[in-house]
């Protein structure tokens, strides 16, 4: 139990003792829980968020570009395939975000995104893992990171849907931590009497949560060497990617960062770039317009590779970071907040602090980029409408499926508004589609949906 006097001194020193006002009015069990939480927060870390240091000379990172990818494809695929089949690969999906921009109160993964089947984002992601597991003949571990904001609903959603056909125990849920949101003056806030206002600690919180939950130790004990990291809101993020895993194997990489050629120099993405001998993913907000356009000795724009937040992590590397007590730093950003003040909920401007997965790239000595084709791997759902919305993601996926059909010799002429959906259980990649396509139709001229129609063995 927390020593209230020691805690009061500690909070006073941190400038947070206002949080103790009124605690004597709380029921005893609530007061104990509140004091325990106040004692567990690292107020010192919160008060000193990372201010990105001035960057040194920016150089190009080593990136396997499309030409090299084609050249090495067979060898990379063979290496990655062997890793999947030997049980050396797991999939990790982070789904702890609050999804504020999408505006749905349920976790983003519960959103019914698919137009024809009505499948949710969670179902699409789970079916990709199921498809992979069937293909490689083993239940590939599927780690799903939730947060207190999404945990209960996510578990319930998977449970009522029979884990979308995945094997019992294949889905491994773990919840990330939270950090207090702060008022503009850096003071902690309440969400309700006796409850701190907190937010999930960012996608980088997946590292600390992997460690704290024991999931990382379990993967190490099982001999899993690679984690394919995706974010729930990219409906096309591949999990069956032997080239990616094979690159990790062949390069003995600690991290492989997928990158895409930026659509234009000012595209608002993080950039993979080398600074002082280490790869960094630096935000567009951290670079000047001059740096954005600077050309390297090879005649190419240095900041030409954008990061869509898909990575491959070496479990050995994460284990070494864990053993060294590493945790990704906190970054602060100004956000509108709803806090409990003077007996009511008020809206105010304050700070949310988050850990970024990208900071872990900088910890790696063996880091490499892998260029991907955005049209087949990147369909994010961030906003309710417009760019990066459910509608735009469905349209991107539909265009990809149309290409698959055309590659199989099908005439595709879609009227405006019509879309194609292909279940990950029918085919999760173009290769699988071409291998499976049975020429059931010669033309697609309107809405079209393909589900797995094999009899269950």
CB 345 within 8 A of CB 338: yes
CA dist 448 and 419 (Å) reads 7
For residue 338, give the H/E element and its range.
strand 330-341
Confirm or reject binding of residue 151 to ligand UTP (CB under 6 A): no
| Residue 107: CB minimum distance to ligand UTP, A | 8
Q: Which is nearer to ligand UTP, 95 or 210 (CB)?
A: 95
CA dist 102 and 246 (Å) reads 35
Q: Which is nearer to ligand UTP, 60 or 389 (CB)?
A: 389
| Residue 335: CB minimum distance to ligand UTP, A | 9
**Binding residues for ligand UTP, how many (CB under 6 A)?**
22
CA dist 102 and 114 (Å) reads 15
Q: Of the listed pieces 41-49, 115-123, 199-207, 236-244, which binds ligand UTP according to CB under 6 A?
A: 199-207
SS (H, E, C) 191-258: EECCEECEEECCCCHHHHHHHHCCHHHHHHHHCCCEEEEEECCECCCCCCCHHHHHHHHHHCCCEEEE
Q: Which is nearer to ligand UTP, 64 or 126 (CB)?
A: 126
Confirm or reject binding of residue 145 to ligand UTP (CB under 6 A): yes
Confirm or reject binding of residue 238 to ligand UTP (CB under 6 A): no
The alpha carbon of residue 325 and the mean position of all alpha carbons in its chain are separated, in whole angstroms, by 22
Distances (CA, A) of 56 to 52, 177, 277: 12, 33, 10
| Residue 203: CB minimum distance to ligand UTP, A | 4
| Residue 307: CB minimum distance to ligand UTP, A | 12
Three-class DSSP category at 452: coil
Candidate residues 80, 97, 238, 306; the one interacting with ligand UTP per rule CB under 6 A = 97
CA dist 394 and 119 (Å) reads 12
List the x/- string, 382-401, binding to ligand UTP by CB under 6 A. x-------------------
Confirm or reject binding of residue 335 to ligand UTP (CB under 6 A): no
Confirm or reject binding of residue 270 to ligand UTP (CB under 6 A): no
Q: How many CB atoms lie within 10 A of CB 333?
A: 11
Confirm or reject binding of residue 327 to ligand UTP (CB under 6 A): no
Q: Tokens representing 337?
A: 């907040």
Confirm or reject binding of residue 132 to ligand UTP (CB under 6 A): no
Q: Which residues bind ligand UTP (CB under 6 A)?
A: 94-101, 108, 145, 147, 176, 200-203, 205, 231-233, 354, 382
């Amino acid at each position: 139990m927390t020593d209230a006097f020691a805690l009061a001194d500690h909070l006073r020193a941190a400038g947070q003792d206002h949080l103790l006002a009124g605690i004597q009015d709380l029921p005893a069990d609530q007061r104990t829980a509140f004091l325990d939480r106040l004692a567990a927060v690292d107020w010192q870390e919160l008060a000193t968020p990372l201010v990105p240091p001035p960057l040194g000379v920016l150089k190009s990172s080593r990136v396997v570009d499309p030409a090299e990818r084609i050249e090495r494809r067979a060898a990379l695929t063979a290496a990655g395939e062997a890793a999947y089949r030997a049980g050396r690969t797991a999939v990790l999906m982070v789904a702890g975000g609050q999804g504020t921009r999408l505006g749905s109160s349920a976790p983003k993964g519960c959103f019914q995104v698919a137009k024809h089947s009505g499948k949710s984002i969670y179902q699409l992601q789970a079916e990709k893992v199921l498809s992979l597991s069937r293909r490689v003949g083993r239940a590939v571990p599927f780690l799903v990171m939730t947060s207190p904001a999404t945990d209960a609903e996510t578990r319930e959603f998977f449970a009522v849907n029979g884990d979308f056909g995945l094997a019992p125990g294949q889905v491994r849920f773990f919840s990330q931590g939270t950090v207090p949101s702060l008022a503009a003056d850096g003071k902690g806030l309440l969400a309700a009497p006796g409850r701190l206002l907190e937010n999930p600690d960012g996608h980088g919180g997946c590292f600390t949560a992997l460690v704290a939950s024991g999931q990382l130790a379990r993967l190490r004990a099982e001999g899993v060497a690679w984690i394919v990291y995706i974010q729930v809101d990219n409906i096309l993020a591949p999990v069956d990617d032997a080239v990616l895993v094979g690159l990790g194997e062949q390069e003995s990489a600690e991290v492989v960062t997928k990158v895409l050629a930026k659509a234009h120099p000012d595209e608002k993405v993080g950039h993979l770039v080398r600074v002082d001998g280490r790869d960094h993913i630096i935000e567009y907000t951290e670079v000047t317009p001059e740096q954005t356009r600077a050309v390297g000795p090879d005649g190419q724009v240095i900041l030409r590779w954008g990061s869509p937040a898909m990575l491959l992590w070496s479990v050995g590397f994460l284990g070494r970071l864990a053993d060294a007590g590493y945790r990704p730093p906190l970054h602060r950003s100004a956000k509108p907040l709803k806090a409990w003040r003077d007996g009511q909920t008020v809206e105010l401007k304050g700070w949310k602090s988050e850990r970024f997965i990208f900071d872990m790239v900088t910890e790696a000595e063996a880091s490499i980029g892998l260029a991907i084709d955005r049209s087949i791997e990147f369909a994010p759902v961030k906003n309710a409408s417009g760019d990066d919305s459910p509608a735009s993601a469905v349209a991107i996926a539909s265009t990809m499926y149309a290409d698959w059909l055309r590659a199989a010799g099908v005439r595709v002429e879609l009227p405006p508004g019509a879309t194609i959906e292909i279940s990950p259980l029918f085919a999760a990649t173009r290769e699988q589609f071409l291998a499976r396509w049975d020429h059931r139709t010669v033309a697609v001229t309107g809405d079209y949906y393909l589900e797995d129609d094999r009899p269950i063995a």
